[in-house]
A and B are shown apart, each in its own frame.
Chain A
Amino acid sequence: MLKDVNNNIRHVIYPLLEVLSLEVGHKQPVAMRINFNKPLSLEDVTEVHGENTGGRNTDKSSFYVYKVLDFYTTFLDNSRLHINVIDNIRKRSRANPRGKIKQKIKLKRRIIISLSFDKTLYQLSPDYNGTSSSIVKTSISDNSIKMRTMIKQTAGDSVAELPMVELLKTIKSFYQYLTIEAQAT
């Protein structure tokens, strides 16, 4: 039986690969781990509170961690991009006195973007004092400058689409904190 693919694959992952192909070398591999499981599956459950034991106390909260996407590639300038998308879902259910069960699902999505720049090419801008943007965390090692940030997305259900344009804008914003030592032409 044919099954439809997740909308995130059709509307985000495929266009994202198309767009990033401009920045990724012809021979450069892209590593990607997509979770095709349905959200709210038993294997994603991390915590359950208030297990229904009968009687009047019928509130139950289940917490799920759904790892949507893990994406890794290297750009033409040797910068290494890592995107990690994790959904934290809370499902609350409650039975009213007549036995009708109502449930609410709340989704909090965290998109963690980190980009490691080649230190032989880029330096941190002198204007960057580490607090220019409280959301961008920077760490410097011997051969790389790593920038990391998180986009939070809240939606009513677990099929919310990833914000592709915001994701690309965030990656581009990392470059404004960098300078190049070579003489500008």
Chain B
Amino acid sequence: MSQCEAKRGLFTLYDCTKEANRTCAECGRTVCNEHMSISQSTCYECQAKSTAEIDDPHLHAYRLRQVMMTKHKGQSIHFGTALSEYYDLYDISSFDIKLAKITDMADSPDELFFDS
């Protein structure tokens, strides 16, 4: 299976590192379960572009990202490779830096978190 073609992130964009196991009926990209609802045939990013009313709390986040990336002031950043034409409308600058190089997901700064 190939890698999911959807992007993660809200203020910045990243390649999704999960394996793709479904195909979006709208854009034809292969995406993972995180980027496509089980009950829908289109991915969250395509649903966010449409104005159709869909009752899914997760979709709200993608709709907000769509607005933030296209309408709000300030260019966003994409870390990773192959930013496809799908994201042409986004105001974004792309950098060839892999996520693994800049962060260690398991290394959380525990000492900064609250005691509880």
Contact = CB atoms under 8 A, between A and B. Distances in A.
Given A23-B9, A23-B10, A72 B102 contact: no
What bracket does the count of chain B residues touching chain A fall in? 35 or more
Nearest to A183: B96
Interface stretch (A43-51, A98-106, A134-142, A170-178): A170-178
Contacts of A172: 11, 68, 72, 74, 76
Contact of A176 (B73, B81, B96, B102): B73
B27 interface: no
Interface in A34-78: 70, 72, 74-78
B93 to A, nearest CB: 6
B57 A27 contact: no
Interface string B1-39: 000000011111010000000000000000000000000
Which of B10, B58, B65, B109 is most buried by chain A, counting CB atoms within 10 A of its CB?
B10
Contact of A184 (B58, B81, B95, B103): B95
A75 B94 contact: no
B9 A19 contact: no
Which of B9, B14, B83, B103 is most buried by chain A, counting CB atoms within 10 A of its CB?
B103
Contacts of B114: 31, 33, 70, 72
B102 A75 contact: no
Contacts of B62: 22
A83 to B, nearest CB: 13
Given A72-B114, A172-B74, A185-B96, A19 B61 contact: yes
A77 B72 CA distance: 21
What bracket does the count of chain A residues touching chain B fall in? 35 or more
Interface string B83-100: 100000000011111010
Nearest to B114: A31
A126 to B, nearest CB: 15
A26 interface: yes
Contacts of A7: none
Contacts of B61: 15, 18-19, 21-22
B46 interface: no
A120 to B, nearest CB: 8
21 contacts: A22-B8, A23-B9, A25-B103, A29-B113, A31-B113, A33-B114, A70-B114, A72-B112, A72-B114, A76-B8, A76-B14, A76-B99, A76-B105, A78-B102, A121-B97, A168-B68, A172-B11, A175-B74, A176-B73, A185-B83, A185-B96
